[in-house]
Amino acid sequence: MAKIQARTQSEGPEDGLREKMIAINRVTKVVKGGRILGFAALTVVGDGDGNVGMGKGKSKEVPAAVQKAMDEARRNLARVSIKNGTLYHGVKGHHGAASVEMFPAPKGTGIIAGGPMRAVFEVMGITDVVAKSHGSSNPYNLVRATLDGLKKQSTPSQVAAKRGLTVEEIFAVAA
């Protein structure tokens, strides 16, 4: 299996989005006359301000597979709340056998995360985070688990609205 981990596209996109290629796999279709070779690409795209999307693409050629994946990632952009380059609170995400734990970190800590998780954080603009993956190390499932955990995040105003309180009342109770 041919894999290329977290390579940045050299030519910058015109729309201001950050792009990261996470993995390329060589795939094979067995037919009556032999084997048909192709490539599958996994990419993430973000704007550096909390929007992030994941895309998969398949083609006979690597550049075409990567382009299809980038286009799909652009179509699947989702908004995630971030606070000064980190998370609001610790969250866990799951997808298949992959589990991910993510925690906010103080300014200057950097991105302490492995492989596919690091690429997701970089493109969406998170600069300080601690993350740990458990279970499967499949990059597809790790990216999905990371996005699942990020979507579970709640801002203080969202928590206040759920509880029928104001943000000040929530922080006064916590103090």
Domain boundaries, the chain: 7-78, 82-159
Mean pLDDT over the full length of the chain: 89
User: For domain 7-78, which CATH number applies: 3.40.50.2000, 3.30.160.20, 3.90.700.10, 2.10.60.10?
Assistant: 3.30.160.20
Phi first, then psi, for residue 154 (nearest 5°) are -125, 135
Q: Of 26-30, 132-136, 148-152, 170-174, which gets the smallest average pLDDT?
A: 170-174
On whether the 82-159 domain is CATH 3.30.230.10, my answer is: yes
Residue 172 has pLDDT above 90, yes or no: no
Residue 115 has pLDDT above 90, yes or no: no
Report the C-alpha gap between 7 and 139 in whole angstroms. 14
Report the half-sphere exposure of 165 (CA within 13 A, side-chain side).
Answer: 12
60-95 pLDDT, tens digit per residue, is 999 999 999 999 999 999 999 999 999 999 999 999
Residue 107 tokens read as 């300014």
Residue 6 has pLDDT above 80, yes or no: no
Residue 131 tokens read as 């993350």
Q: Sorting pLDDT into bands at 50, 70 and 90, what band is 171?
A: confident
- Matching CATH topology for 7-78 and 82-159? no
Report the SS3 class of residue 135: strand
Residue 3 has pLDDT above 70, yes or no: no
